[in-house]
Amino acid sequence: MFRSIGGLALGDFRDRVRRPVYAVTLLAAVILGYLAVPDPQARLVIMNIGGYRGVYDSAYVGTATALAAALWLTLGGFYVVRGAIERDERTGVGRLVAATPLRTPAYLAAKFLSNTMVLGSMVAVLAATAAVMQFARAEDRAIDPVALLTPFVVIALPMAVATAAAALLFETLPLLRGGLGNAGWFFVWLAVAVGSLSERAPFDVLGARHVVEALRAAMVEQGLWKRHSSFSLGLTEEPEPLKSFPWDGFPLTAAFLGGRALLVVAALAVVLLPALWFGRFDPARGTLRPTPQQAAEPGLPPAPAYRGLPATAPAYGNTFGRLLAGELTVIVREATRWWWLGAAILAVVGLAVPSGSVAAVALPLAWVWPVLLWSRLGTRHQSDGMEGLIGAYPAPHRRLLAEWTAGLAVTVLPGLAPLLRMAASGDAPGMAAWLGGALLIPSLALAAGILTRTPRLFQALYPALWYCAFNGLAPLDFMGAVRDGGVPAGPHPLAVAALAGLLLGLTLLTTTVRGAAWTTRRA
Amino acid sequence: MLELIDVTKVYRGGKRAVDTMTMRLGPGMLGLLGPNGAGKSSLMRIAATITRPTSGKVLFDGVDVVARPDALRRHLGYLPQDFGAHPNLTAREFLSYLAAAKGMSARSSKARIGELLELVNLTEAAKRPLGGYSGGMLRRVGIAQALLADPRVIIVDEPTAGLDPQERVRFRTMLADLAADRVVMLSTHIVSDIESVASDIAVVAGGRLLRRGTPDELLHMARGRVWDLLVSPAEADAVRMGYVVSRMVRTAEGVRLRVISDAPPSPGAVPAAPDLEDVYLGLVQPAPAPSRAMGGLR
């Protein structure tokens, strides 16, 4: 059985690493490794403790890079490895595997192993980058492999394992296997990974708190720790470059190692749990939509004899309205009754909240609800297998503009109640910001969809952007939610509209370039 | 009307799918025959402006459609080998959307969609979401969309895959009707599909055009090269290893073989009238290297 698991996982891993996107993910890992060990004079840092950092020796460089990996690979890596089961379903490989004696837990274990190998390879690249960065920064060029690599093994790898397991779990749950899972992961990550940095969190998921304790102890010993010193992990811009202090690394206590082992054991349990409900690619079980080949032929009357070609001659005219209606029909049919119910509740909320909460609460809530509908802009032809068919149709730009307009309609509709409230209270700057946001959202969604041909980028990007705006980060407030003296504090609406135009232009340009050059890898 | 001049397509990784192919097409039906991987689908996609050739020209009424694809797309009906559809739309809604994409007015598209649905025998299922359609039904929707704008050029790639025999016959009849005054380019590896309708046949393999001609011209080429023979089961294996065998039937008397060869494969072999399958096999399938088994037969 172990041979089967290993063989399947290796095959899956090979398939993934041969895709061009894998090189991009490794490049991202290198960039993350570079950012984790910034220039001593840099103010953009990933880790900061009370305005200090450790001297760039193996212990500190390894720890800082491993923590950066634990934090950011957990977020980005989830989207990288997601799709292992979906790909088997789409390509039909799943049905072939399902017909073999391989048992469901073994299949899931193989997919998990493949996910872990992909994330593990990114961790390995980060570790290699850390060694290069230590040498390049030249504060201590003596590379101690144990001190450098230990943090990757005990901090980054357990998080990679947990992420691999979470991605698999999400794929097996009908509710989370689609866009909802993609968008929802951002909030799971926020609560579990970022939340665990808090001293009140029940479990040190990242392992960062143990590291902070060791850093703090060294600083106290060296008289550097102040009462209000704090720790930050992420990506922050500091007012001045960090000062350095010597640090020997964190101790490998039994409690810490036990916690890391517990995380891995929990991940393994999460992997095997779906065996209870995983449908093994049987459309009769679960919620898989049957492919056309699987669909039963509904009863149709016998074909009459051929009586000749259609008599009506085609006539031509302006069709933008009908294209728009078609795009809207596709979107509306995708929205479930629950979606409409939620939209209706949000409209009531928008009309009922106090005027001070319209821009800060009602509008952001209204403009996160359609995230899954927006995310499919620019990707539907691809995901529905229509690219080869629609590629031979004229005027691709007209179709694209119709799709963008349909996306705009999906933005305007839930945002109407807050807009009416702003109009009623004479909040002209808020209405202008609303307009900028309404133009930006479908443009961003369409650009992300057209460029990547998958809804995943927008599903990962938009919740993060939205969260920043909702939490008062003015420079990223594209909708006028953050107020300063009652006036939107974010970018000027014209700047937001210009960005929307730029993104739409980029989308049209991409379509033009692809235009007749839609090449397929199939020979 | 449609010209492909020195068209070459090299994919990433260096695979040469189409190799300096030249074809001129006027009204009538060109049947493209070739084994899997011969470059048929690549050639069709290039002709349908989906794929840009690495080099060479595609002209429609003298206009370079590699540079200006819309010049052909407005007059093109294209049915790819594999395609999907928006699963939540009904057949009528889907065709209406595509008619708008073609630029057709609402009134004419409504009438024409009704006629096309009847033509492909989907009127009864027209209000069902496409997500519930079988492969054959979806194929018929594909045929309907290809005819939406009464195209002057029709390119169909493996069009009869998934159709039942009755639908296949209807579709072939329709193609023959269309070919009266339009360019129809049909690709398949089902020889009988081409045999029954194409007036012009091109055999391709390895990305190159091996032969092009009318069915009679191609049949003439194979005359005197097709043999029937009756052998024992042991001898049958020897023949298969030494010659291109187009048919084999086990009977009570022995194994009846149909062999393609310049010379009689055995003294008992009798000449047979060639059909297109023989021509096709003779062109695309290299004769096996002479083996020790051949010696045994002789």
Q: Which residue of A has its CA nearest to B107?
A: A315
Strands B270-271 and B226-231: antiparallel
Contacts of residue A157, Cβ cutoff 8 Å, sequence gap at least 6? A120, A123
Q: What angle do CA A399, A404, A405 make, to 5 degrees?
A: 95
Report the pLDDT value the prediction gives residue B197, as an integer from 0 to 100. Answer: 84
Query: Are B87 and A289 inside 8 Å of each other by CB?
Result: yes
Query: Are B115 and A312 inside 8 Å of each other by CB?
Result: yes
- Taking 50 as the threshold, does the pLDDT of residue B292 lie above it? no
Pairwise pLDDT comparison (B297 vs A496), residue with the higher score? A496
Contact B17, B42 (CB under 8 A): yes
Overall pTM > 0.80: no
The pLDDT > 90 percentage for chain B reads 64
Query: Are B82 and A385 inside 8 Å of each other by CB?
Result: yes
**Residue (of A434, A444, A441) closest to A493 by Cα position:** A434
Question: Using CA atoms, how far apart are residues B57 and B47, in angstroms rounded to an integer?
Answer: 10
Report the pLDDT value the prediction gives residue A359, as an integer from 0 to 100. Answer: 94
Query: Are A292 and B133 inside 8 Å of each other by CB?
Result: yes
Report the pLDDT value the prediction gives residue A286, as an integer from 0 to 100. Answer: 56
- Which residue type sits at B67? A
Report the interhelical angle of A104-137 vs A58-81 (nearest 10°). 140
Q: How far is CA A85 from the centre of its chain?
A: 18
- Which residue type sits at A272? L
- Which residue type sits at B227? W
Contacts of residue A492, Cβ cutoff 8 Å, sequence gap at least 6? none
**Residue (of A441, A312, A326) closest to A386 by Cα position:** A326
Question: Using CA atoms, how far apart are residues A69 and A121, in angstroms rounded to an integer?
Answer: 12
What is the distance in angstroms between the Cα of B239 and the nearest Cα belonging to chain A? 33
Report the pLDDT value the prediction gives residue B81, as an integer from 0 to 100. Answer: 86
Contact B163, B151 (CB under 8 A): no
φ, ψ dihedrals at B226, nearest 5°? -120, 135
Q: How many A/B residue pairs have CB atoms within 8 Å? A: 195
- CA distances (Å), origin A321, targets A324, A328, A333: 5, 10, 18
Question: Using CA atoms, how far apart are residues A11 and A5, in angstroms rounded to an integer?
Answer: 10
Report the interhelical angle of B91-102 vs A320-334 (nearest 10°). 150
- Taking 50 as the threshold, does the pLDDT of residue B295 lie above it? no
* A518 contacts on B by Cβ (under 8 Å): 50-52
Mean pLDDT is lowest, of A7-21, A119-133, A164-178, for A7-21
Contacts of residue A14, Cβ cutoff 8 Å, sequence gap at least 6? none
pLDDT in tens, A168-203: 999 999 888 888 888 889 889 988 888 888 888 888
Contact A230, A197 (CB under 8 A): no
φ, ψ dihedrals at B212, nearest 5°? -140, 140
- Which residue type sits at B78? Y
**Residue (of B194, B177, B124, B137) closest to A306 by Cα position:** B177
- Interface residue of B134, B182, B184 to substitute, partner A, most A CBs within 10 Å: B134
How far from each other are the two terminal CA atoms of chain B, in whole angstroms? 53
**Residue (of A439, A415, A460) closest to A503 by Cα position:** A439
Average pLDDT on A33-50 reads 91
Residue A222 pLDDT level (bands cut at 50, 70, 90): very high
Question: Using CA atoms, how far apart are residues B197 and B186, in angstroms rounded to an integer?
Answer: 10
Mean pLDDT is lowest, of A231-235, A364-368, A383-387, for A231-235
- CA distances (Å), origin B151, targets A302, B147, B243: 28, 6, 44
Report the pLDDT value the prediction gives residue A201, as an integer from 0 to 100. Answer: 85
- CA distances (Å), origin A327, targets A166, B98, B134, B283: 34, 11, 24, 48
- Interface residue of B51, B63, B163, B171 to substitute, partner A, most A CBs within 10 Å: B51
- Taking 90 as the threshold, does the pLDDT of residue A375 lie above it? yes
pLDDT in tens, B207-263: 999 999 999 999 998 899 999 999 998 889 888 888 999 899 999 999 999 999 988
What is the distance in angstroms between the Cα of A298 and the nearest Cα belonging to chain B? 8
Beta bridge partners of B248: B257
Question: Using CA atoms, how far apart are residues A171 and A227, in angstroms rounded to an integer?
Answer: 46
Q: Taking the domains of chain A in order of start, what are their residue ranges? A: 2-282, 320-522
pLDDT in tens, A253-279: 999 999 999 999 999 999 999 988 888
Count Cα atoms within 13 angstroms, Cβ side, for A365. 18
Q: Which residue has the tokens 């349909």?
A: A406
Q: Which residue has the tokens 């789409």?
A: A90
Which helix H or strand E contains B113, and what residues bound it? helix B106-119
Token representation of residue A465: 């952007």
Token representation of residue A399: 């179709």
* A304 contacts on B by Cβ (under 8 Å): 121
What is the distance in angstroms between the Cα of B213 and the nearest Cα belonging to chain A? 26
φ, ψ dihedrals at B244, nearest 5°? -80, 120
Residue A520 pLDDT level (bands cut at 50, 70, 90): very low
The side-by-side arrangement of strands in the sheet containing B244-250 is: B244-250, B255-260, B226-231, B270-271
Question: Using CA atoms, how far apart are residues B171 and B163, in angstroms rounded to an integer?
Answer: 9
- Which residue type sits at A110? A
Mean pLDDT is lowest, of A346-350, A393-397, A515-519, for A515-519
φ, ψ dihedrals at B21, nearest 5°? -95, 135
Q: What angle do CA A439, A444, A446 make, to 5 degrees?
A: 100
Strands B28-33 and B183-188: parallel
Question: Using CA atoms, how far apart are residues A35 and A142, in angstroms rounded to an integer?
Answer: 21
Token representation of residue A401: 């503009």
Question: Using CA atoms, how far apart are residues B263 and B258, in angstroms rounded to an integer?
Answer: 13
> Please, which residues 88-107 of chain B have a Cβ atom closer than 8 Å to chain A?
88-89, 93, 96-107
Pure H helices in A273-395 = 320-334, 337-352, 355-357, 363-366, 371-375, 380-383, 387-390
The secondary structure of B216-257 as a DSSP string is HHHHHHHTT-EEEEEE-HHHHHHHHHHSEEEEEEE-SS-EEE
Residue A51 pLDDT level (bands cut at 50, 70, 90): very high
The pLDDT > 90 percentage for chain A reads 60
Token representation of residue A245: 């202090």
Contact B79, B142 (CB under 8 A): yes
Mean pLDDT, rounded, of chain A: 89
Burial of A493-509, coded b for 16+ CB within 10 Å and e otherwise, reads: beebbebbeebbeebbe
Average pLDDT on B259-270 reads 90
Token representation of residue B286: 């290299």
Average pLDDT on B125-146 reads 91
What is the distance in angstroms between the Cα of A92 and the nearest Cα belonging to chain B? 14
Average pLDDT on A447-463 reads 90
